């Protein structure tokens, strides 16, 4: 297979996000000579951190709060491979406080030890942010959703909201219960989400395995958790990482070797890499410029982007008494205490909150001053202590293309790992993983590419096994010792 006669085959991975990193590390583990090409000066893609001086302390701020669930087995196994699983927190058992603006009302979504779906029955009965009829219609719909064949073609033809309405779920239950989950996991409300992906999230996360829904989150900045840790692993494996290098359209030479033109973003020096295979792990809207047109059946650029913003607020004192909380009927959808994880000292009294706002089309272009005028009063409505606490710092991070919009019809543009050309593979959270655009989907796509590389060689990959991922996660990341107090 190797044109240069060397023992191990070579692969160029274009894109150093989670998908590219998962593919690169698995391929290197399998003995491939790996080169990672990444435009930016760092690895980690959409998950990264930047420095900011907060009250005299050099804090590390994430571009956006990220969470995962216990059912994200591939992502969690990837954290183990990076050696950073203990730098995350994973709840013993789901415990999500949900706040109602203005009333001071708070409910907790918790799970019991019963088999699914009964583990959530008590939580639903106690979810007093909607009325008894809303809860009853929701329970009936969840029972039906559990048995829905999400692979049937028609499930990508209608929205989740249409399906819920056809099951007589009330608008209040859709807005105050279902949207809580779809906005957080799919980056869009039920009316914009395809039934297929919503069914996947509810079936895998809430309705099958009782432990699947426990929530995890990073205890250190994302840049260290992913990009820096992956760089260390790649260095140890002898992989080459070309940062600040942009790849251009790849081509297959007559000797059946892949050529990857790259340009150094600093010196503008151009050269061509050569490899037996290429994994293209870039965002969906960059794929067409990199692959030969005959390689793919449709352009994934037809997937539309969906933005996320994070509103970062540092208060002079503690205003949120739980690690995180969700809110209904509020633009401040999820609130996270990031004080310690950003490197600030919680004993000094300051509290740094990251407010995650998904499906943020309305907010993405709004000036900081306007966001401040909108979000600070909102925080005071959610957290009474915030009404009287001085704001030490306020800033906003924006990701216009955080995910693709998982709308009905989007499945047609999520491409498979293999292209029509031999040795040219695709990865990325947007590819046809069956998952929404998440860290889990990104890692799965990278591993799918690594498996396809193994098949090119006629050897199954030793490095990744999704069934094994579950077992390898028996030694779970740090369990949250303190239950969430609400
Ligand atoms: C604010 C925010 C919050 C999120 N919250 C969550 C969450 O809570 N839970 C969750 O699971 N997921 C969340 N996500 C989604 C998750 O971050 C992404 O799905 C995942 O990181 C995507 O990884 P990827 O490798 O597929 O793509 P990317 O991270 O986009 O990586 C692609 C890489 O390719 C590089 N590239 C592009 N073109 C070229 C080129 N020509 N040459 C070389 N390199 C190139 C890019 O620079 C980039 O680094 C969130 C995303 C954002 C932005």
Residue 463's pLDDT band (boundaries 50, 70, 90)?
Answer: confident
Distance of CA 75 to CAs 129, 234, 362, 469, 479, Å? 32, 17, 30, 9, 16
The residue whose two tokens read 């995910």 is 403
Q: Is the CB of 437 under 6 A from ligand 1?
A: yes
Quote the pLDDT of residue 472.
Answer: 38
R_g of the chain computed on alpha carbons: 23
Mean pLDDT within 166-187? 98
| % pLDDT > 90, the chain | 91
Ligand 1 centroid to Cα of residue 20, in Å, is 10
Please say if the pLDDT value at position 6 is more than 60: no
Contact (Cβ atoms closer than 8 angstroms) between residue 340 and residue 353? no
Q: How many angstroms is it from 15 CA to the middle of ligand 1? A: 9
For 15-24, what is each residue's pLDDT tens digit? 999 999 999 9
Using DSSP's 3-state secondary structure scheme, residue 194 falls into strand
Other C-beta atoms lying within 10 Å of the C-beta of residue 413: 18
Is 68 touching ligand 1 by the criterion CB < 6 Å?
yes
Tens of pLDDT, residue by residue over 251-285, are 999 999 999 999 999 999 999 999 999 999 999 99
- Percent of the chain beyond pLDDT 70? 94
Number of neighbouring beta carbons within 10 Å of residue 261 = 14
How far apart (Å, rounded) are the C-alpha atoms in residues 360 and 87?
29
Q: Which domains does the chain have, with CATH numbers?
A: 10-46+222-303+415-472 (3.50.50.60), 49-90+304-404 (3.90.660.10), 112-213 (1.10.405)
Tell whether the model's pLDDT for residue 45 goes beyond 60: yes
CA 262 to ligand 1: nearest atom: 42
d(CA 437, CA 444): 11
263 lines ligand 1 (CB under 6 A): no
Nearest to 233 by CA among 78, 72, 357: 78
Asked whether the predicted pLDDT for residue 113 surpasses 80, the reply is yes
Quickly state the pLDDT bin for 475 (edges 50, 70, 90): very low
User: Measuring CA to CA, which residue among 346, 383, 402 is closest to residue 59?
Assistant: 346
The atom number, within ligand 1, closest to the CA of 442 reads 26
Please state the rounded mean pLDDT for residues 349-368: 97
Written as six digits, the tokens of 104 are 């001071």
Task: Tell me how far apart the alpha carbons of residues 450 and 435 are, in angstroms, rounded to a whole number.
Answer: 18
Tell me the CB-side half-sphere exposure of residue 242, using CA atoms within 13 A. Answer: 24
pLDDT at res. 310: 98
Cα 410 to Cα 139, 407, 452, distances in angstroms? 28, 6, 24
Give the closest residue (by CA) to ligand 1 atom 6.
Answer: 66
Give me the mean pLDDT over the 448-455 stretch.
96
Nearest CA to ligand 1 atom 51: 402
Would you say residue 142 has pLDDT above 60?
A: yes
* The predicted structure's pLDDT at residue 461: 80
Span from the CA of 45 to the centroid of ligand 1 (angstroms): 4
Cβ neighbours for 408, distance < 8 A, ≥ 6 positions apart: 156, 157, 158, 159, 194, 195
Using 50, 70 and 90 to split pLDDT, how confident is the model at 464? confident
Question: From the CB of 438, is ligand 1 less than 6 Å away?
Answer: yes
The answer to whether residue 348 scores a pLDDT higher than 90 is: no
Distance, in Å, from the CA atom of 280 to the CA atom of 272, rounded to the nearest integer, reads 16
- In sequence order, the β-bridge partners of residue 399 are 308
User: Residue range 237-249: average pLDDT?
Assistant: 98
- State yes or no: pLDDT of 29 exceeds 70: yes
Q: What is the mean pLDDT of residues 297-315?
A: 97
Q: Are 70 and 354 in contact (CB under 8 A)?
A: no
Q: What is the mean pLDDT of residues 56-67?
A: 97
Alpha carbon nearest to ligand 1 atom 14, residue = 438
The finding on whether 429 has its CB within 6 A of some atom of ligand 1 is yes
Inter-CA distances, 88 with 69, 75, 224, 225, 334, Å: 12, 12, 11, 8, 18
pLDDT for 359-405, tens place per residue?
A: 999 999 999 999 999 999 999 999 999 999 999 999 999 999 999 99
**Mean local confidence (pLDDT), 157-185:** 98
Residue from 372, 416, 377 nearest 394 by CA: 372
Question: Would you state the structure tokens that stand for residue 160, as one six-digit string?
Answer: 């989740």
Cβ atoms within 10 Å of 444's Cβ, excluding its own = 29
- Across residues 194-219, what is the average pLDDT? 97
Average pLDDT, the chain: 93
Residue 7's pLDDT is 73
Q: What per-residue confidence (pLDDT) applies to 470?
A: 45
Is there an atom of ligand 1 within 6 Å of 186 CB? no
Beta bridge pairs of residue 11: 34, 277
Answer yes or no: is the C-beta of 360 below 6 A from any ligand 1 atom.
no
**Quick one: average pLDDT of 142-151?**
96
Is pLDDT above 50 for 476? Answer: no
**Does residue 2 surpass a pLDDT of 60?**
no
* Reported confidence tier of residue 347, pLDDT bands at 50, 70, 90: confident
pLDDT of residue 468 exceeding 50: no
Model confidence at 486, in pLDDT bands (50, 70, 90)? very low
- 401 Cα–ligand 1 center, Å: 9
pTM: 0.95
Please tell me the distance from the alpha carbon of residue 325 to that of residue 309, in angstroms, as a whole number: 17
Structure tokens at 377: 């009063």
Check whether 219 has a pLDDT greater than 60: yes
């Amino acid at each position: 297979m190797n044109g240069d006669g060397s023992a191990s085959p070579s692969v160029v991975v274009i894109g150093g996000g989670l998908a590219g990193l998962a593919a690169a590390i698995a391929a290197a583990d399998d003995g491939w000579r790996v080169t990672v090409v990444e435009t930016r000066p760092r690895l980690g893609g959409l998950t990264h951190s930047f420095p900011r001086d907060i009250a005299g302390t050099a804090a590390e701020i994430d571009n956006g709060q990220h969470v995962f669930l216990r059912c994200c087995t591939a992502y969690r196994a990837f954290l183990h491979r990076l050696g950073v699983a203990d730098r995350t927190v994973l709840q013993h058992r789901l415990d999500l406080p949900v706040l109602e603006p203005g009333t001071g009302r708070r409910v907790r979504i918790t799970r019991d030890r019963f088999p699914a779906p009964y583990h959530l029955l008590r939580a639903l009965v106690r979810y007093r942010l909607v009325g008894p009829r809303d809860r009853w219609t929701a329970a009936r719909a969840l029972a039906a959703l559990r048995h829905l064949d999400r692979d049937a073609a028609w499930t990508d033809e209608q929205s989740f909201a249409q399906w819920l309405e056809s099951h007589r779920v009330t608008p209040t239950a859709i807005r105050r219960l279902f949207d809580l989950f779809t906005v957080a996991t799919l980056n869009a409300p039920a009316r914009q989400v395809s039934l297929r992906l919503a069914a996947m999230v509810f079936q895998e996360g809430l309705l099958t395995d009782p432990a699947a829904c426990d929530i995890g989150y990073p205890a250190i900045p994302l840049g260290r958790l992913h990009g820096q840790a992956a760089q260390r692993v790649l260095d140890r494996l002898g992989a080459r990482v070309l940062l600040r290098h942009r790849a251009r359209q790849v081509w297959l030479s007559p000797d059946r070797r892949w050529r990857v033109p790259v340009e150094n973003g600093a010196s503008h020096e151009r050269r061509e890499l050569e490899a037996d295979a290429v994994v293209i792990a870039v965002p969906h809207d960059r794929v067409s410029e990199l692959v030969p047109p005959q390689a793919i059946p449709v352009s994934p650029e037809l997937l539309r982007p969906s933005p996320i913003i994070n509103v970062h607020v540092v208060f002079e004192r503690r205003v949120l008494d739980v690690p995180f909380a969700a809110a209904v009927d509020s633009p401040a959808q999820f609130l996270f205490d990031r004080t310690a994880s950003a490197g600030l000292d919680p004993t000094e009294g300051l509290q740094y909150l990251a407010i995650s706002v998904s499906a943020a089309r309305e907010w993405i272009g709004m000036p900081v001053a306007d966001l401040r005028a909108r979000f600070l009063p909102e925080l005071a409505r959610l957290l009474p202590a915030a009404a009287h606490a001085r704001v030490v710092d306020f800033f906003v991070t924006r990701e216009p293309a955080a995910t693709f919009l998982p709308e009905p019809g989007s499945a047609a543009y999520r491409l498979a790992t293999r292209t029509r050309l031999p040795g040219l593979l695709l990865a990325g959270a947007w590819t046809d993983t069956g998952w929404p655009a998440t860290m889990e989907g990104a890692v799965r796509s990278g591993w799918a590419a690594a498996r396809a590389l193994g098949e090119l060689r006629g050897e199954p990959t030793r490095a990744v096994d999704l069934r094994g991922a579950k077992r390898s996660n028996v030694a779970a990341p740090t369990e949250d010792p303190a239950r969430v107090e609400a």
